[in-house]
Structure 1
Amino acid sequence: MIKLTGLDEKEFVINSDHIEKLIEIPQSVITLVNGNKYIVKESNDEIIEKIIEYKRKIYI
């Protein structure tokens, strides 16, 4: 699970294993495997870093 910030400045948590696609136009649009989309303030690079950090925590 990673913590992200929506355009309304509210934080929410998303299951990173369900992310299918990331597009940056200019905000990041996250598409989940179920088709839901979320627009967040973090860049794609920041999201990827959060995913890597989360995976390191659970697999080490």
Structure 2
Amino acid sequence: MITLTKLNGDQITVNAVFVERVESFPDTTITLINQKKLFVKEQEIVVKQKITEFYKQIGLYQLQREVGEQQNES
């Protein structure tokens, strides 16, 4: 789980596994796999770093890299 700050200043904790996309419009917009959108104060790069750290903590980061490498070989 990652903790972020909504535009109104409230904190929100998000399960990073459900994040589909992170974009800047200029506000950082997170699209979840159910297509719900969250708008947060953190910059896009910070959100991506938090997601990567979360993946490392739960052991998904290496798996994600291995799957990506296999897809690139095809």
Q: Under a length normalisation based on structure 2, what TM-score does the superposition of the two structures give? A: 0.74
Show structure 1 runs of 5+ residues with no match: none
In proportion to residue count, which structure has more strand? 1
The structure number with the bigger radius of gyration is 2
- Please state which structure has a larger fraction of its residues in helix: 2
Task: Quote the residue 1:41 is aligned against.
Answer: 41
The one-letter amino acid paired with 2:48 is I
CA RMSD of aligned residues (A): 0.9
d(CA) in 1 for partners of 2:29, 2:3: 15
Q: RCO greater where, 1 or 2, for CA within 8 Å and sep 6 or more?
A: 1
Runs of 4+ that moved beyond 3 A: none
Identity %: 34
Q: Secondary structure at the match of 1:35?
A: coil
Instruction: Tell me the matched-pair count.
Output: 59
TM-score of the superposed pair, with normalisation by structure 1: 0.89
**1:32 match:** 32
